[in-house]
Amino acid sequence: MDGVEFRHVSFGYRAGVRVLDDLTVTIRAGEVLALVGASGTGKTTLLKLVNRMLVPDEGAVYVQGKDTREWDPIRLRRSIGYVIQEVGLFPHLEVGGNIAVVPRLEQWPDDAVAARVRELLALVGLPPEQFADRWPDELSGGQRQRVGVARALAADPPVLLMDEPFGALDPVTRRQLHNEFRRIQARVSKCVILVTHDLTEAMLLGDRVGVMERGRLIWCGPPADIDASTDPTVRELVEAASLPPSFPRATA
Amino acid sequence: MSNLLRFWIDHRGELAIMLGEHVFLVAISTVIAAGIGVPLGVFAARRPRLATPFVAVANVVQTIPSLAMFGFLLPVPLLGGVGARAAVVALVFYALLPIVRSTIVGITSISASIRDVGVAMGMRSRDLLWQIELPLATPSIVGGIRVAAVIGVGSATIAAAIGAGGLGQYIYRGLSMVDSTVILAGAIPAALLALVVDGALVWLEQRLSTRQRTSPRRRVAALGTLLIVIAVLGTVSVRARGTSTIVVGSKNFTEQIILGEIVAQTIERETGLPVQRRLNLGGTLICDRALLTGDVDVYVEYTGTALTAIFHQQPSNDRGAVINTVRDLYARSGRTLLPGLGYDNTFAILVRGSDARQRGLRTIDDVARVAPQWRAGFGYEFLERPDGYPGLAKTYGLMFRDPPQVMDLMLSYRALAARQVDLIAGDATAGLIEGLDLVQLDDNRRYFPPYDAVPVARATTLLRYPEVRHALERLSGRISATEMRRMNYAADARHENPADIARAFLDRSR
């Protein structure tokens, strides 16, 4: 059991207000679950329960078959890559230094760290000799997101959490990065939970799409099936995205 | 201005030493304050409930006036006393506030999402501190250190009051000599030093905020090591100065500094023991405290001052009784009164030399005859105090043509020489008596209380080094009031160096 499993998970920041309500879902190794929903529906909270930034009030989250409460939080977090929107790169470290954070925390030898930085920069399409020594504020938004992905993959974690990773990018860059993401995922094959507010993006990138509303997962299934849903919230989303009737699946 | 330049050129060796002492005081205290303040700030920043009271306490410390701070520290064992150590302690207290505050601000202003990313990547609390918080807070922390150092340059001038050296010595010397050239000789380099320190740290601040290629952990570790090394060296050098030397103190006016030199050089000549000078201490009470705590081994006091200011007894004009009382009181607190130097620094009734010679005036009784035709000028203090003019007039039956004029003590010497008044009350050893050809009339009815100049030493020092006692006894009765006036005149009016004046005196009267 290599993936992530939520079993009847409920969570609230304040007593009586449930941000997540009895949520059950399993994400297998190599699978991408794309969560979509309006702001405040609990998507980011769900991610924070995976790397034990938060602990469930009820139910349990299992990562690689083990309850997050039983994990050493440091070990757990180092085996989970985390990509967030816009910021997230440390401004006082160069691109190479940012990517090397977790390997250095894990005390890899220097030459192994350097080799890994080069490998990952190449993987995300940034020539290492040009980019390793740049500062984050010398990069474009798209380049920064690529570095963010490279950093999350640095210690080869089995699980990857992505919180609106492409949210702040212009449409052209975003389409490029969607393609990049699919190419990279095809090679690294991680268990990925990706959060977005854009159904098109969710359908492009997810093996399955989950629709969230008020802390509940109201629909979950392969993108091709979403048209068939009769749930009014899901229908509203689909119509807002104005998708062509026969939407092509990227990895199909 | 040319006076100032000449003063600097004449005293360039001394100026360099004072500048060195000043830089040392500021550097060592800033380094120690950073060593304490940064960890304290980190600690407080991570516990928001503590941050406010921490800054409040540091704020209160900051408002204590420097002289009061030295006063508080004087009796504190290990930290207090006089000399560089106590000055450094006080300066550290002053430097703490800006450093603690800038550390707290630097850390708490890091955005929460940056910190969250670090946590989500599996950083432990200390990884977060060393890899994220300290590197990002460094510009702010260095800014705080800069403010602390600049404040330190100013505060360190006051350190001269407790014998810690530095440029403040010129300022104090100038104040006691009422010579603005000497005040400026210390104040201008201190101001320039503040600008230089400020500029240097701005440069460092910029260096640290432009990104370095070295790993932040190594950079912070290197900075920390450097600070520790400087702090250790500083502590060692401060300590090294205190061992098995005889420490000679003095108060902060010309005569005292000359006497301090005479005592110091006598011990050096007669015993060969190393002598440390802590001249220019800020007043009677600081000297007395220092002698009690052992920060000073010997200094010259005046019997009348000891009786009233130190031991709070009623003034008396019985010379022998005063000496016995003071010797007794000193002995009870482990101090030994040595034989007097030979002059009495009491009030002096002064007239022009020409008048004295023409009319054959020698005593105050003699002047009572001519007084009804004369005008007198007195300082405000002398007119008011019970052992001043009222008692004098009664004792000698003095009557002047007009009521005595009130004037500044220093100006009254000039007024007498310029024939604006005919009689004044001055200090018996004022250099101007010599310079303006004035004559002191004998107090033949023993009206004024005695202020005999006497060395006072720690009894334990004299027991350990009996040769010091012998050396000091050799000074007994060697300095007349005339001699002291000449030496004061040489220092105040001719700007000769007190050490040279003392050396010449000892050579002359060998």
Alpha-carbon gap: A83 to the closest alpha carbon of chain B (Å): 9
Contacts of B124 in chain A (CB under 8 A): 74
CATH number of the domain at B228, please. Answer: 1.10.3720.10
Residues A92 and A152 in one domain: yes
Residues A144 and A190 in one domain: no
What local confidence, expressed as pLDDT, does residue B112 receive? Answer: 83
B121 and A75: CB-CB below 8 Å? Answer: no
Confidence band of B504 (pLDDT split at 50, 70, 90): very high
Q: Which residue of A has its CA nearest to B135?
A: A92
Confidence band of B219 (pLDDT split at 50, 70, 90): low
| pLDDT tens, position by position, B307-332 | 988 888 888 888 889 999 999 999 88
Residues A141 and A207 in one domain: no
Residues B395 and B474 in one domain: no
Instruction: Compare CB distances from A92 to B111, B122, B211 and report the shortest one's residue.
Output: B211
CATH number of the domain at B474, please. Answer: 3.40.190.10
Residues A251 and A175 in one domain: yes
Instruction: Compare CB distances from B216 to A84, A87, A92 and report the shortest one's residue.
Output: A92
Query: Ranked by mean pLDDT, which of A231-240, B215-224, B419-428 comes out on top?
Result: B419-428
Contacts of A82 in chain B (CB under 8 A): 117, 120-121
Q: Which residue of B has its CA nearest to A54?
A: B120
Residue in A71, A101, A162 to test binding to B, most B beta-carbons within 10 Å: A101
CATH number of the domain at A26, please. Answer: 3.40.50.300
B127 and A105: CB-CB below 8 Å? Answer: yes
Contacts of A88 in chain B (CB under 8 A): 113-114, 117
Domain residues for the domain of A251 are: 1-79+163-252
Return the minimum-mean-pLDDT range out of A202-206, B13-17, B480-484. Answer: B13-17
Return the minimum-mean-pLDDT range out of A184-193, A225-234, B114-123. Answer: A225-234
User: Is the pLDDT score of A111 beyond 90?
Assistant: yes
Beta strands per DSSP E along B63-114: none
What local confidence, expressed as pLDDT, does residue B226 receive? Answer: 59
User: Is the pLDDT score of B21 beyond 80?
Assistant: yes
Contacts of B131 in chain A (CB under 8 A): 90, 101
Q: Going edge to edge, which strands form the sheet with A20-27?
A: A20-27, A4-11, A58-63, A66-67
Residues A126 and A11 in one domain: no
When the pLDDT of each residue in chain A is averaged and rounded to a whole number, the result is 87
In the block, tokens 């602990």 appear at A55
A53 and B216: CB-CB below 8 Å? Answer: no
Residues A27 and A151 in one domain: no
User: Is the pLDDT score of B236 beyond 50?
Assistant: no
Contacts of A92 in chain B (CB under 8 A): 135-136, 211, 216
User: Is the pLDDT score of A200 beyond 80?
Assistant: yes
Residues B74 and B210 in one domain: yes
A101 and B136: CB-CB below 8 Å? Answer: no
Stretch (H or E) spanning A124: none
The percent of residues in chain B predicted with pLDDT above 70, rounded, is: 89
- Count of domains in chain B? 3
- Domain endpoint, select from A116, A134, A156: A156
Q: What is the DSSP string of A127-166?
A: -HHHHTT--GGGS-HHHHHHHHHHHHHTT--SEEEEESTT
CATH number of the domain at B409, please. Answer: 3.40.190.120
Q: Is B139 on the interface with A (CB under 8 A)?
A: no
| pLDDT tens, position by position, B388-408 | 888 898 899 888 988 888 887
Residues B174 and B300 in one domain: no
Contacts of B116 in chain A (CB under 8 A): 53
Residue in A90, A93, A164 to test binding to B, most B beta-carbons within 10 Å: A90
Size of interface A-B (CB pairs under 8 A): 54
- Domain endpoint, select from A119, A140, A156: A156
Residues B385 and B411 in one domain: yes
Alpha-carbon gap: B113 to the closest alpha carbon of chain A (Å): 7
In the block, tokens 């700007």 appear at B495
What local confidence, expressed as pLDDT, does residue A249 receive? Answer: 47
- Count of domains in chain A? 2
Residues B127 and B138 in one domain: yes
Assess contact for B188 and B171: CB atoms under 8 A: no
Instruction: Compare CB distances from B124 to A74, A82, A92 and report the shortest one's residue.
Output: A74
Contacts of A73 in chain B (CB under 8 A): 122
Residues A252 and A174 in one domain: yes
Residues B359 and B330 in one domain: no
User: Is the pLDDT score of B256 beyond 70?
Assistant: yes
Residues B332 and B381 in one domain: no
- List, as ranges, residues 174-213 from B with C-beta within 8 Å of A: 211, 213
Output the CA angle B235-B236-B239, nearest 5 degrees.
85
| pLDDT tens, position by position, A112-133 | 999 999 999 998 889 999 999 9
Alpha-carbon gap: A78 to the closest alpha carbon of chain B (Å): 5
Instruction: Compare CB distances from B114 to A51, A82, A90 and report the shortest one's residue.
Output: A90
User: Is the pLDDT score of B422 beyond 90?
Assistant: yes
Contacts of B122 in chain A (CB under 8 A): 73-78, 102, 105
* Cα(B99)–Cα(B36) distance, integer angstroms: 9
Assess contact for A217 and A205: CB atoms under 8 A: no
Domain residues for the domain of B489 are: 246-344+450-508
Output the CA angle A116-A117-A120, nearest 5 degrees.
80
Buried b / exposed e along A215-228 (16+ C-beta atoms within 10 A): bbbbbbeebeebee
Alpha-carbon gap: A109 to the closest alpha carbon of chain B (Å): 15
| pLDDT tens, position by position, B143-171 | 899 889 988 998 888 877 777 788 888 88
Specify the pTM: 0.62
Buried b / exposed e along B441-459 (16+ C-beta atoms within 10 A): bebeeebbbbbbbbbbbbe
What local confidence, expressed as pLDDT, does residue A7 receive? Answer: 93
B117 and A51: CB-CB below 8 Å? Answer: no
- Domain endpoint, select from A136, A156, A176: A156
Alpha-carbon gap: B97 to the closest alpha carbon of chain A (Å): 27
Residues A178 and A71 in one domain: yes
- Domain endpoint, select from B441, B458, B480: B441
